[in-house]
């Protein structure tokens, strides 16, 4: 299923690597990078991933009968 949705898979992998890359790129400001990773980074990246997964699995979920 990962190959069928390759663009989503790559995007999700980049999002998962985001906090680590942010820490690496802002290495001269370690405390700011750690704060952003812990407070903003984890929640934001989880929120973005959740929206991507909802869009991704929409086609596999059955329609809700009211």
Report the Cα 45 to chain-centroid distance in Å. 4
Q: Residue 31 domain-assigned?
A: yes
Q: What is the pTM of this model?
A: 0.63
Q: Residue 17 domain-assigned?
A: no
User: How many domains is the chain partitioned into structurally?
Assistant: 1
How many Å apart are CA 50 and CA 66, to the nearest integer? Answer: 25
Q: Residue 64 domain-assigned?
A: no
Does 66 have pLDDT greater than 60? no
Does 2 have pLDDT greater than 70? no
- Average pLDDT of the chain is 79
Mean pLDDT of the region 50-62: 86
Q: Residue 34 domain-assigned?
A: yes
Q: Residue 43 domain-assigned?
A: yes
Does 12 have pLDDT greater than 80? yes
Q: Which domain holds residue 55?
A: 27-59
Q: Tell which wins on pLDDT, 42 or 66.
A: 42
Q: Residue 51 domain-assigned?
A: yes
61 backbone dihedrals φ, ψ, rounded to 5°? -85, 135
Q: Residue 13 domain-assigned?
A: no
């Amino acid at each position: 299923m990962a190959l069928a949705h390759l663009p989503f898979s790559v995007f999700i992998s980049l999002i998962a690597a985001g906090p680590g890359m942010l820490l690496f790129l802002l290495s001269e400001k370690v405390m700011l990078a750690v704060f952003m990773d812990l407070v903003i980074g984890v929640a934001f990246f989880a929120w973005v991933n959740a929206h991507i997964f909802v869009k991704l699995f929409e086609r596999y979920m059955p329609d809700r009968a009211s």
